[in-house]
């Protein structure tokens, strides 16, 4: 590029930015000069080839807006406006006498999401600080996954019928949510001037269905900067966390039940916090069993995205999950031989409906193995590799063998590599890689604040992976210590999507709402129903559009509390002789386990959620897969049952694919709290599965829903003549 052309580009960039309200001229000119340098590098053949087709945009704007979005005044403002400040607010600085209400650990997606709701939805504007070790938010994704391709979907195209914003979030597995940018919380409709597809979404950062991890890292940092202005302390490493008794004058409703506060010492000073919320994720690499440990084994966390060091080498990989197969699929393209060695059976996501199980984008290696390449897969069965297996150095690399096999030991001692054969129990590798997952690291917690870890079988088979927590996301043994993000997945591990952004954006929101009720006298989002017809309309809309119920299937639920006729409800409707659902309370996105354990307040006058009596019925609305919809025959579910037996033409097919499930319970009191028990279940109704997730058929869906609500109405003592289906 000539000097004249470069100058022209700078002038044009400055003029365009000023016209769009770009602000400071020196900043714009600096951006323009950076752009010129960027173009020059490509003209010289430099730069990242993968990025050459990506549009160049200013760092303070969500890139890749389409022309329709770009025409709006709001979008122009977003594109031209400056990013929020990264400087911490003075009142949140460390080493102050004042307590911080909530100290969140980690500015990854979980910490960012939680803090966004803590700063927006909680009553009384509590103080919130996020402590981040790195100089940017979302730094985990600057390194992981190692080979940079995400397996979280980024769907960008929808039909006109699928225009509901909340529905579209069902197919966006990367974006975070903000109540100030969010549509109507009950319907998902874009009702306010502040709601727009121009809000921060991952689809504005990547056009790829499975995005590059760099794009997610950039998105998360932008989100934190724009949404958490002044609430994040960057470059702040937490050194220790302990508890001490609060002074009498410091005790408030936000003080934990043990009367103790947290003392968080960091590289920048000390924060004293009423509550600590760990959103650090599972970041400590899990180690191999002791008999398989060797100092020359490479950890997944030590790998780079360049596999060239493995070219022409023999590589062994320990693991059976996405990390192991991600590595194998990449390395096997250049290695001479690659083995994956698993200590448990492979669980495929498409067979279990669990997104944490092995995903097909990572399982290409199995094709290579089963189609007779030189790559292999070994499974040792359930449990660890045989204790008699060990690893020794030999032939310039590492040899895996049985420790008592003297013949193999002689082969290793001879140095004759050709005599080392797998059929004889001698496995030689140039490199061995450990990719067996992560666990929750408690090393920064002092004795007074260390959370217990889950016991074997409590969450995972071996235990020790997650902290033990209550249905309120609180540590079982440390009051005031909560968990958000991937760590909170302990409550739905292997069952739902809480370990991933598209799931924990909703569980993090649920935690914030629980804290609002418990510590600030707030209420859980709820609407009072006018009659059975309105209840039907709201439920039908939520079933067809709510992303929270869709992503956290079986874990989050809509709850309808129906007072029995003759009992005055919270809205003061005394005469309910005609319609039992008049005055019913419709709660959204409630953690089902919280209700089952009796820890949901139902917005009772008593913040503890205690009731003197329980003259009510409770409806739960969830999305669930069929109980038998798993295993190798999931793709044949229209013709076979779970065992593989072919179904006859006259047999009824179960509703196996994701579908709405409605349950009616008689209210039960447990320690003066309303709860749900299996014995109190009165009736269950399944709306027929629809592969397009369109549950609006007048006969198959709407009538079933209305009839179910009619049963609930009748059970609560309403007038049977008060409801009739005429939609």
Helix (H) or strand (E) holding 483: strand 481-483
The average confidence (pLDDT) of the chain is 81
pLDDT tens by residue, 278-295: 999 998 999 888 888 899
Nearest of 118, 115, 136, 110 to residue 279 by alpha carbon: 110
Compute φ and ψ for 479, nearest 5 degrees: -60, 140
pLDDT tens by residue, 13-28: 443 344 334 444 444 4
d(C-alpha 546, C-alpha 695), whole Å: 12
Helix (H) or strand (E) holding 597: none
The Cα angle at residue 421 between residues 420 and 424, in degrees rounded to 5? 110
Region 163-191 average pLDDT: 81
Compute φ and ψ for 41, nearest 5 degrees: -65, -35
Residue 356 is predicted with a pLDDT of 82
Percent of the chain beyond pLDDT 70? 79
d(C-alpha 387, C-alpha 412), whole Å: 20
pLDDT tens by residue, 106-127: 999 999 999 999 999 998 899 9
Strands 238-245 and 128-131: unpaired
Percent of the chain beyond pLDDT 90? 48
**The pLDDT of residue 212 is above 60:** yes
Residue 240 is predicted with a pLDDT of 97
pLDDT tens by residue, 158-170: 988 888 888 999 9
pLDDT tens by residue, 472-526: 999 999 999 999 999 999 999 988 888 999 999 999 999 999 999 999 999 999 9
- 263-277, 447-461, 710-724: lowest mean pLDDT where? 710-724
pLDDT band, very low/low/confident/very high, at 566 (cuts 50, 70, 90): low
Topology, domain 92-149+212-283+440-512:
FAD/NAD(P)-binding domain (3.50.50)
Region 534-556 average pLDDT: 95
Higher pLDDT, residue 539 or 647 = 539
pLDDT band, very low/low/confident/very high, at 248 (cuts 50, 70, 90): confident
Q: Are 701 and 562 in contact (CB under 8 A)?
A: no
**The pLDDT of residue 654 is above 90:** no
Q: Are 65 and 205 in contact (CB under 8 A)?
A: no
**The pLDDT of residue 50 is above 90:** no
Residue 97 is predicted with a pLDDT of 87
Q: Is 266 exposed, middle or buried (0-12, 13-18, 19+ CB in 10 A)?
A: buried
Neighbours of 619 (CB within 10 A): 26
Residue 507 is predicted with a pLDDT of 96
Residue 68 is predicted with a pLDDT of 35
Task: Domain 289-436: give its CATH architecture.
Answer: 3-Layer(bba) Sandwich (3.50)
- Which CA distances in Å does 494 have to 255, 477, 486, 553? 33, 24, 13, 12
Residue 19 is predicted with a pLDDT of 37
Which pTM value belongs to this model?
A: 0.83
Domains 92-149+212-283+440-512 and 289-436 are alike in CATH topology: yes
- 268-272, 571-575, 703-707: lowest mean pLDDT where? 571-575
Residue 187 is predicted with a pLDDT of 66
**The pLDDT of residue 8 is above 50:** no
Residues 6+ apart with CB under 8 A from 605: none
pLDDT tens by residue, 381-402: 555 556 678 888 999 899 988 8
pLDDT tens by residue, 330-388: 999 999 999 998 877 788 878 787 888 888 888 888 888 888 788 888 887 555 556 67
**The pLDDT of residue 675 is above 70:** yes
Residue 22 is predicted with a pLDDT of 43
d(C-alpha 295, C-alpha 618), whole Å: 57
Region 118-140 average pLDDT: 93
Domain limits of the chain? 3-80, 92-149+212-283+440-512, 289-436, 524-722
């Amino acid at each position: 590029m000539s000097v004249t052309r470069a100058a022209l580009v700078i002038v044009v960039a400055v003029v365009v930015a000023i016209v769009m309200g770009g602000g400071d001229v020196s900043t714009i000119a600096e951006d323009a000069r950076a752009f010129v340098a960027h173009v020059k590098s490509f003209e010289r053949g430099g730069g990242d080839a993968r990025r050459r087709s990506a549009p160049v945009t200013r760092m303070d704007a969500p890139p890749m807006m389409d022309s329709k979005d770009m025409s709006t005044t709001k979008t122009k403002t977003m594109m031209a406006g400056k990013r929020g400040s990264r400087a911490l607010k003075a009142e949140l600085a460390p080493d102050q006498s004042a307590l911080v209400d909530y100290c969140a650990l980690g500015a990854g997606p979980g910490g960012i999401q939680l803090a966004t709701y803590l700063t927006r939805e909680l009553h009384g504007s509590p103080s919130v600080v996020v402590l981040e070790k790195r100089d940017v938010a979302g730094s985990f994704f600057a390194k992981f996954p190692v080979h940079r391709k995400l397996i979280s979907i980024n769907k960008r195209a929808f039909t006109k019928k699928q225009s509901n914003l909340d529905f579209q979030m069902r197919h966006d597995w990367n974006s975070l949510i903000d109540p100030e940018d969010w549509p109507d919380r009950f319907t998902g409709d874009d009702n306010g001037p502040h709601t727009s597809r121009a809000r921060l979404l991952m689809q504005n950062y990547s056009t790829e269905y499975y995005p590059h991890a760099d794009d997610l890292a950039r998105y998360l940092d932008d989100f934190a900067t724009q949404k958490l202005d002044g609430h994040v302390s960057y470059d702040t490493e937490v050194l220790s966390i302990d508890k001490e008794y609060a002074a009498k004058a410091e005790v408030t409703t936000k003080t934990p039940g043990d009367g103790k506060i947290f003392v968080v010492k960091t590289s920048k000073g000390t924060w004293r916090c009423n509550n600590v919320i760990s959103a650090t994720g599972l970041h400590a690499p899990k180690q191999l069993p002791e008999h398989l440990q060797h100092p020359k084994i490479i950890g997944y966390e030590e790998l780079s995205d360049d596999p060239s060091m493995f070219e022409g080498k023999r590589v062994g990989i320990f693991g059976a999950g996405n990390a192991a197969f991600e590595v194998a699929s990449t390395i096997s393209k250049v290695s001479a031989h690659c083995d994956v060695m698993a200590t448990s059976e492979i669980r495929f996501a498409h067979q279990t409906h669990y997104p944490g199980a092995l995903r097909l984008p990572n399982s290409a290696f199995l094709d290579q193995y089963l189609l007779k390449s030189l790559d292999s897969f070994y499974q040792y069965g359930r449990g660890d590799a045989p204790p008699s297996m060990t690893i020794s150095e030999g032939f310039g690399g590492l040899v895996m063998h049985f420790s008592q096999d003297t013949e193999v030991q002689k082969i290793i001692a001879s140095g004759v590599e050709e005599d080392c054969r797998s059929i004889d129990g001698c496995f030689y590798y140039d490199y061995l890689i450990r990719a067996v997952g992560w666990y929750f690291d408690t090393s920064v917690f002092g004795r007074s604040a260390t959370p217990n870890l889950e016991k074997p079988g409590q969450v995972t088979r071996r235990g020790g992976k997650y902290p033990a927590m209550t249905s309120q996301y609180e540590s079982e043994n440390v009051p005031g210590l909560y968990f958000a993000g991937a760590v909170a997945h302990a409550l739905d591990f292997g069952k739902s999507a809480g370990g991933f952004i598209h799931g924990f954006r909703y569980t993090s929101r649920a935690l914030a709402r629980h804290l609002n009720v418990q510590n600030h006298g707030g209420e859980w989002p709820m609407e009072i129903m006018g009659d059975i017809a309105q209840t039907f309309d709201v439920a039908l809309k939520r079933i067809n559009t709510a992303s929270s119920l869709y992503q956290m299937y079986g874990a989050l639920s809509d709850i309808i509390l129906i007072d029995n006729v003759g009992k005055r409800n919270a809205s003061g409707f005394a005469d309910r002789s005609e319609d039992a659902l008049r005055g019913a309370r419709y709660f959204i996105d409630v953690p089902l386990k919280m209700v089952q354990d009796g820890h949901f307040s139902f917005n009772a006058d008593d913040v503890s959620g205690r009731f003197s009596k329980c003259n009510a019925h409770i409806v739960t609305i969830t999305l669930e897969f069929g109980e038998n919809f798993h295993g190798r025959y999931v793709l044949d579910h229209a013709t076979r049952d779970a065992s593989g037996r072919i179904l006859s033409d006259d047999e009824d097919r179960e509703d196996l694919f994701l579908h709405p499930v409605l349950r009616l319970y008689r209210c039960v009191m447990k320690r003066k709290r309303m709860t749900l028990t299996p014995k109190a279940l009165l009736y269950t109704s399944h709306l027929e599965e629809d592969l397009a997730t369109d549950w609006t058929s007048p006969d198959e869906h709407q009538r079933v829903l209305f009839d179910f609500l009619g049963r609930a109405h009748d059970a609560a003592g309403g007038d049977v003549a008060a409801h009739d289906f005429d939609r």
